[in-house]
A and B are shown apart, each in its own frame.
Chain A
Amino acid sequence: MKQYLLSVHFVEGAPTPSDEETQTMFRETGRINDDMQAAGAWVFGGGLTSPDSATVVRVDNGTATMSDGPFAETKEHIAGFWVIKCADLDAALAWAERCAAACGPVEVRPFDDLSQA
């Protein structure tokens, strides 16, 4: 079994979904989570608050500094993710297809070998 991160992204300036669209998305995401758990693919997952609630912590010469805002200065920020375990990429892509239909484009990224011994 391999572990994969399926991440969903929030794009600054993109139109905000309507309440109805949000409700549909939550409902379908709930269904996917249930199916992942039933199939034994689920490891962990969840949605994140907006990037303006992020804080970056750095340590320089043993001194920690904190700064407000996300690490990456981009318009695209991670908005939510799943960690799943699957036999191979094709199985992960099949889950990603369902997730993408519910939440928009999904990036599928395998964990490295050391993290999934």
Chain B
Amino acid sequence: MDLASIYRAEYGRCVATLTRLLGDINLAEEAVQDAFTTALQKWQIPPPNPGAWIVTTARNRAVDRLRRESTREARHAQALLLHHPDEPREVGPVRDDQLRLIFTCCHPALAPDARTALTLRLLGGLDVPEIARAYLVQEATVAQRIVRAKKKIRDAGIPYRVPAEHELPDRLPPVLAVLYLMFNEGYAATAGPLIRTDLCGEAIRLARELATLMPDEPEVLGLLALLLLTEARRPARLDPNGELVLLADQDRSLWNRSLIAEGHGLVRRCLRRNRPGPYQIQAAISAVHTDGATTDWPQVLALYDQLHALAPTPVVALNRAVAVAEVHGPAVALAALEDVDLPGYHRLPATRAELLARLGRDDEARAAYDQAAALATNETERAYLQKRRTELTREWRAS
């Protein structure tokens, strides 16, 4: 393994462990970066346990640094670092530390934008330019968000701990939301290439960690299953010309069978607990789509009804309408969309356009495609919508 992949895989774990040891995120980051710089100079080949090497080196660096500083706090912190009687000499990254850090980064007292940026930085090891590119914001904005969030964690005393069981219903959703957001931005990027495999991979890696750390939380398993089942279809999502292929038209032989098997297993495992939540139901919908040669639409619609009862958001209503169209026809689906309000979201007019086209209302469909294309921020999606518009005169292909 090269140093870059080791960095990506170990950075978050090492920062998490050092944050526990030092009680300070900034010091932890500096120490871990120092240790990676040392590794760059010293490693001919990486040691068998690179994470443990980095943590030990970072810890020694931190002790050196604290020795040079002579404040009371520094001496106190140094004493704590030197006297850890229970710990083995070689300190390996501890997974619980990452869990603590995820909950710290996603604390509800931090702004949602800051939560995502901080999670990508501290747990994913992405640098500021990478995060800025992912969310189409200025690097300075990202840098400022991260600095502010770290300052608030320190000044306000946001604890570095996993919330107690009774607090989880409030505290887990922002964590899951951050990972879901990260994945979605990777799967349908706001701009640039449609798919950003690095972000998808990072979100899945962190969701896997979370599922290992919290195997009893069905929504965590549900989220992981949802991400895996969505990722499994990725190879079929663009044709060789880079054009978007809708689910119904995808070459299913390109889907990743092992991810599908893993996702189905997780869906069964979490649904057995009978505590359905939005991520589990969305995962179940994905499981139906990836089960067999065609989609069982009545089952998908039943699941959307359940999801809508639990989370009556406009996006759920929009997705439900797609299933309604397959089961009850486009006219009923169009009526179901009447009250849906999603200003600026291209998928609403895009869906209306498809339904209008199926009803033979071509002029209205063209206008809706134009509206959707104008709102789409991703070039691949816009090209798809424009193509659909020009195809209107041709015969409708069932999807």
Contact = CB atoms under 8 A, between A and B. Distances in A.
A60 to B, nearest CB: 32
Contacts, number: 25
Among B107, B155, B157, B158, the most chain A Cβ lie within 10 Å of the Cβ of B157
Contacts of A108: 156
Interface in A60-89: 86-89
Contact of B158 (A86, A88, A112, A113): A88
Given A89-B109, A93-B109, A110 B159 contact: no
Contacts of B159: 87-90
Contacts of B158: 88-90
A89 B153 CA distance: 9
A113 B157 CA distance: 11
A2 interface: yes
A110 B109 contact: no
Interface in A77-117: 86-90, 92-93, 108, 110, 112-113
Interface string B104-122: 0001010000000000000
Contacts of A113: 155
Contacts of A92: 157
Nearest to B163: A90
- Interface size for chain A: under 10, 10 to 19, 20 to 34, or 35 or more residues? 10 to 19
Contacts of A87: 157, 159
A2 B157 contact: yes
Interface string B139-180: 000000000000000011111000100010000000000000
A93 B107 CA distance: 12
Contacts of B155: 110, 112-113
B315 to A, nearest CB: 29
B335 to A, nearest CB: 41
A28 to B, nearest CB: 22
15 contacts: A2-B157, A88-B157, A88-B158, A89-B109, A89-B157, A89-B158, A89-B159, A90-B158, A90-B167, A108-B156, A110-B155, A110-B156, A110-B157, A112-B155, A113-B155
In the A-B complex, the 4 residue pairs with the closest CB atoms: A88-B159, A2-B157, A88-B157, A110-B156
